[in-house]
């Protein structure tokens, strides 16, 4: 990775060694010793130790995505049931 200074190399935000790439969550440069690989996604991603406090799994993100999809459906279902109860056909 080139940062434009320090001889064209970017240094790790955690230890100062040469960075291998950015953290997938906070985008800070990290080396191989200062990151862990995620699990639960289509491919593994490297995240720094500071971002890893919640764990290296992406399942929390998938639960959030499913929540964004399911909550509007539940609201529409509740609206349908309410309208059917108010104006139901006998």
Neighbouring residues of 59: CB distance < 8 A, sequence distance ≥ 6 = 40
Chain center to CA of 43? 13
Which tokens go with 47?
């995240």
Predicted TM-score (pTM) above 0.85? no
Are residue 11 and residue 36 in the same domain, yes or no? yes
Are residue 33 and residue 3 in the same domain, yes or no? yes
Give the pLDDT score at 39: 73
Say if CB 24 and CB 46 are below 8 A apart.
Answer: yes
Are residue 13 and residue 38 in the same domain, yes or no? yes
Are residue 43 and residue 67 in the same domain, yes or no? no
The number of distinct structural domains making up the chain is 2
Are residue 24 and residue 42 in the same domain, yes or no? yes
Are residue 11 and residue 53 in the same domain, yes or no? yes
Are residue 46 and residue 71 in the same domain, yes or no? no
Per-residue model confidence as pLDDT tens digits over 34-48: 998 887 667 888 888
């Amino acid at each position: 990775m080139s940062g434009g200074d320090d001889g064209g190399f970017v240094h790790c935000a955690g230890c100062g060694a040469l960075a291998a790439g950015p953290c997938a969550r906070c985008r800070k440069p990290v080396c191989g010793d200062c990151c862990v690989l995620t699990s639960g996604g289509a491919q593994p991603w490297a995240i720094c130790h500071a971002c890893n406090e919640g764990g290296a799994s992406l399942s929390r993100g998938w639960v959030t995505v499913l929540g964004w999809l399911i909550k509007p459906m539940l609201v529409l279902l509740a609206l349908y049931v309410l309208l059917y109860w108010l104006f139901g056909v006998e």
